[in-house]
């Protein structure tokens, strides 16, 4: 083994040797700073003695078998005290310096791509994605080659067309049909009641898209009154060797999981109300927004919309009197789902969204800012959402048990169109009126003074948030992106709301 030597060390060594071998070796103490060995000499000795498998990643490992075990060579010779015979000594194993850790690659889970949100597809049944083909490599638009000029001609460019200085990848490969698999599900208590969080893998991207299913009736022991919203891929048995406990741990259980109640799901459902007597489940396709949902940004209404969607879906449903009970109405728990897609910044990603915000601060609106950065106004896709909805038995007319049409919470007509293209049957679009507009309208009607402007982040708080940035964003959604919202205007004579 050769240890690399630094030239500066060599001249220091020579000077030190000179003093140590001179008439006054004590002078070395004051003339030279303390120097610690770069490597533990014991480790170097062990490495030299035990062979090439010892690497610098084996620090903190141990001699194995332990040096205190009497059969290990190098251990204290207990035979002196025990009178053990020489044959036993000869049969001792040679002391080896052995790593007890898994290989480094495995410990760090290094994948070929190693990107954010990339996950190795493991063979273990609890993490299995083996029925999904590998995700194709994501194609990204090429980067901006030179800073894009901020010119007014960009504004005139039609929606979706990129800046001429910016090259977008044009190669388009045929994509295989979208497949999704729910990898795990768990109960999440929310301020609006219980929800079931479902985590999905898919064969299109390496992101973990989510479904927040609201269906608290599943938690009660009484027989369900509405068809339970359940994931077919989660409830199916993944392999012959999969145990009931493994299925329960990934969330394929029925009822309320507890220390005394642990029942793996079967695909049979009990008696349920026919779907024509209950309103279709309310759903929302929501796009991730770190700024709006996590740090309470008041540049957009995303946090408010997520919170409001979970609240509205959780509201109890009152069923009108029926033929079997003509004089009484029945109330059933709210039911539906938020499909949470990891399409930050309308699909352009957080990095580009941050840059877009700076362009917005320079006076451009959200659409123009996207175009100036070489993106489309909206780069989202809804194929994965469609596949997740189908997996949950929502919105399709397939004969699968519990398949139902849906009501969709959105102002965006493109979303409804995209879902219908995916074969999702939307019976109703339920608008989401910004809370600040609702409150301002109520105040305008009653002539009450305006409320305190900033009452806190909307994410999970349900507070009403006001602000110029938010107003600008909402107006751009209506005026440039065609969102179906009655526009709120401050000036009463131009108020369209
Ligand atoms: N590029 C960009 N994305 C933004 C901006 N503000 C919010 N977003 C993203 O927009 C997405 C939400 O889309 P919106 O256009 O607000 O609404 P929508 O989902 O199309 O429509 P609704 O269903 O009515 O809410 C989230 O992914 C946000 O991160 C912005 O200024 N620029």
pLDDT tens per residue, range 9-43: 677 778 888 888 888 888 888 888 876 656 666 65
Lowest pLDDT segment from 152-156, 171-175, 318-322, 370-374? 152-156
Of residues 325 and 300, the one with the higher pLDDT is 300
- Same domain? For 300 and 416 the reply is yes
Statement: residue 135 has pLDDT above 90: no
Query: What's the 436 CA to ligand 1 centre distance in angstroms?
Result: 17
Predicted local confidence at residue 285, as pLDDT: 98
| Ligand 1 atom nearest to 290, measured from its CA | 29
Q: Determine the distance from the C-alpha atom of residue 87 to the mean position of all C-alpha atoms in its chain, rounded to a whole number.
A: 62
Could you tell me the two tokens for 48?
Answer: 């030299």
Verify that 57 and 206 share a domain, yes or no: no
Which pLDDT score, from 0 to 100, does residue 91 have? 53
Q: Are residues 186 and 76 in the same domain?
A: no
Q: Which of 49-63, 183-197, 261-275, 446-460 has the lowest mean pLDDT?
A: 49-63
**How many CB atoms are closer than 10 A to CB 127?**
15
**280 and 185, same structural domain?**
yes
Q: How many CA atoms lie within 13 A of 63 on its CB side?
A: 20
Q: Kindly tell me if the per-residue pLDDT of 230 is higher than 80.
A: yes
ipTM of the complex: 0.98
From 98, 129, 153, give the residue that closes a domain.
Answer: 98
Other CB atoms closer than 10 Å to residue 300's CB: what's the count? 23
Tokens (6 digits) for 150: 């901020």
- Comparing CA positions, the residue from 230, 220, 234 lying closest to residue 181 is 234
- DSSP secondary structure string for all residues of 427-468: EEEEP---HHHHHHHHHHHHTPPPPPSB----TTT---B--H
Which range, of 396-400, 463-467, 477-481, averages the lowest pLDDT?
396-400
pLDDT at 182: 98
Same-domain status, 379 and 284? yes
Give Cα separations from 329 to 276, 324, 333 (angstroms).
16, 11, 13
Residue closest to 74 by CA, chosen among 85, 63, 61: 63
Q: What is the mean pLDDT of residues 167-179?
A: 64
Domain that holds residue 38: 7-98
Distance, CA of 98 to CA of 59 (rounded, Å)? 11
Q: Are 190 and 66 part of one and the same domain?
A: no
Mutate to test the pocket of ligand 1, among 300, 358, 435, 477 (most ligand atoms within 8 A of CB): 300
* Residues annotated as catalytic (active site), given as ranges: 378, 380
Closest residue to atom 20 of ligand 1, CA basis: 412
The answer to whether 432 touches 411, Cβ cutoff 8 Å, is yes
pLDDT of residue 338: 98
For residues 258 and 368, membership in a common domain is answered with: yes
Q: Is 415 in the pocket of ligand 1 (CB under 6 A)?
A: yes
Q: What is the rounded distance in angstroms from the CA atom of residue 429 to the CA atom of residue 406? A: 9
**Are 92 and 193 contained in the same domain?**
no
Contacts 24+ apart (CB under 8 A), 486-492: 486/433, 488/434, 488/437, 488/440, 488/441, 492/444
Number of domains in the chain: 2
How far apart, in whole angstroms, are the C-alpha atoms of residue 195 and residue 337?
Answer: 9
Query: Domain check: are 234 and 342 in the same one?
Result: yes
Does the residue 117 lie in any domain?
no
Q: Quick one: 193 and 299 in the same domain?
A: yes
Residue 484 lies in a domain: no
Judge whether residue 299 has pLDDT over 90: yes
Contact criterion met (CB below 8 Å) for 149 and 198: no
Helix (H) or strand (E) holding 392: none
Domain membership of residue 287 (yes or no) is: yes
Structure pTM?
Answer: 0.66
Judge if 203 and 348 occupy the same domain: yes
Instruction: Please count the other Cβ atoms lying within 10 Å of the Cβ belonging to residue 28.
Output: 15
Q: Is the pLDDT of residue 160 over 70?
A: no
Least Cα distance to 405 among 390, 417, 384, 418 occurs for: 390
Question: Is the beta carbon of 128 within 6 A of some atom in ligand 1?
Answer: no
Does residue 172 lie in a domain region?
no
CA of 407 to the centre of ligand 1 (A): 20
Structure tokens at 218: 């599943």
CATH of the domain at 403: 3.40.50.10990
For ligand 1, pick from 207, 209, 289 the residue to mutate: most ligand atoms within 8 Å of CB.
Answer: 289
Asked whether residue 107 is assigned to any structural domain, the reply reads no
Pick from 374, 364, 359: which is nearest to 480 by CA?
364
CA nearest to 214, candidates 308, 354, 353, 151: 308
- pLDDT tops 70 at residue 282: yes
pLDDT at 37: 59
The verdict on residue 485 lying in a domain is no
Could you tell me if residue 105 is inside a domain? Answer: no
pLDDT tens, residue by residue, 88-112: 555 554 544 445 555 555 544 434 3
**pLDDT mean over 244-266:** 93
CB atoms within 10 A of CB 138: 12
Helix 435-446 vs helix 468-479: crossing angle, to nearest 10: 100
Pick from 98, 129, 152: which residue ends a domain?
98
In the predicted model, what is the mean pLDDT of residues 130-151?
40
Averaging pLDDT over each range in 155-159, 392-396, 405-409, 486-490, which range is the top one?
Answer: 405-409
pLDDT of 413: 93
Domain membership flag for residue 461: no
Domain boundary among 375, 410, 432: 432
For residues 244-267, give the mean pLDDT: 91
Q: Is the CB of 344 under 6 A from ligand 1?
A: yes
What pLDDT sits at residue 157?
Answer: 35
The residues, ordered by sequence, that sit 6+ positions from 76 with a Cβ below 8 Å of its Cβ are: 68, 70
pLDDT at 144: 37
191 with 82, same domain: the answer is no
290 C-alpha vs ligand 1 centroid, how far in Å? 11
């Amino acid at each position: 083994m050769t240890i690399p030597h630094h030239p500066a060390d060599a001249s220091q060594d020579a000077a030190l040797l000179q003093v140590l071998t001179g008439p006054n070796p004590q002078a070395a103490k004051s003339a030279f700073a303390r120097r610690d060995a770069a490597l533990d000499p014991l480790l170097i000795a062990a490495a030299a003695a035990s062979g090439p498998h010892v690497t610098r990643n084996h620090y903190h490992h141990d001699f194995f078998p332990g040096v205190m075990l009497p059969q290990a060579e190098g251990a204290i010779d207990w035979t002196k005290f025990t009178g053990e015979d020489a044959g036993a000594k000869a049969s001792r194993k040679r002391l080896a310096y052995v790593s007890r850790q898994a290989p480094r690659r495995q410990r760090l889970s290094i994948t070929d791509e190693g990107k954010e949100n990339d996950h190795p597809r493991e063979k273990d049944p609890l993490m299995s994605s083996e029925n999904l083909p590998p995700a194709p490599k994501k194609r990204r638009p090429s980067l901006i080659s030179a800073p894009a000029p901020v010119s007014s001609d960009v504004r005139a460019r039609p929606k979706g067309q990129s800046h001429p200085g910016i090259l977008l990848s044009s190669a388009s490969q045929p994509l295989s049909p979208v497949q999704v698999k729910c990898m795990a599900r768990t109960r999440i208590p929310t301020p609006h009641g219980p929800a079931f969080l479902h985590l999905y893998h898919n064969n299109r991207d390496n992101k973990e898209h989510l479904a927040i299913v609201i269906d608290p009736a599943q938690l009660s022991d009484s027989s369900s009154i509405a068809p339970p919203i359940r994931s077919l891929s989660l409830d199916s048995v993944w392999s012959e060797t999969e145990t009931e406990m493994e299925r329960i741990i990934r969330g394929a259980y029925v009822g309320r999981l507890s220390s005394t109640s642990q029942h793996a799901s079967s695909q049979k459902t009990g008696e349920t109300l026919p779907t024509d007597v209950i309103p279709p489940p309310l759903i929302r396709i929501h796009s991730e927004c770190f700024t709006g949902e996590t740090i309470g940004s008041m540049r957009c209404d995303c946090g408010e919309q997520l919170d409001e969607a979970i609240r509205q879906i959780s509201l109890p449903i009152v069923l009108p009197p029926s033929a079997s009970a003509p004089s009484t109405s029945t109330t059933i728990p709210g039911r539906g789902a938020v499909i949470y897609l990891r399409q930050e910044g309308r699909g352009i990603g957080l990095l580009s969204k941050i840059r877009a915000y700076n362009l917005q601060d320079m006076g451009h609106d959200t659409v123009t800012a996207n175009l100036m950065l070489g993106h489309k106004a909206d780069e989202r896709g809804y194929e994965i959402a469609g596949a997740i909805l189908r997996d949950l038995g929502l919105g399709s007319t397939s004969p699968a048990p519990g398949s139902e049409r849906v009501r969709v919470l959105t102002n965006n007509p493109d979303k409804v169109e995209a879902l219908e293209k995916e074969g999702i049957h939307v019976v109703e679009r339920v608008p989401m009126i910004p809370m600040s507009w609702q409150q301002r309208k109520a105040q305008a009607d009653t002539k009450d003074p305006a409320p305190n402007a900033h009452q806190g982040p909307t994410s999970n708080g349900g507070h009403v948030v006001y602000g110029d940035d938010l107003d600008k964003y909402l107006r751009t959604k209506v005026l440039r992106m065609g969102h179906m919202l009655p526009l709120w205007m401050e000036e009463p004579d131009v108020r369209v709301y």
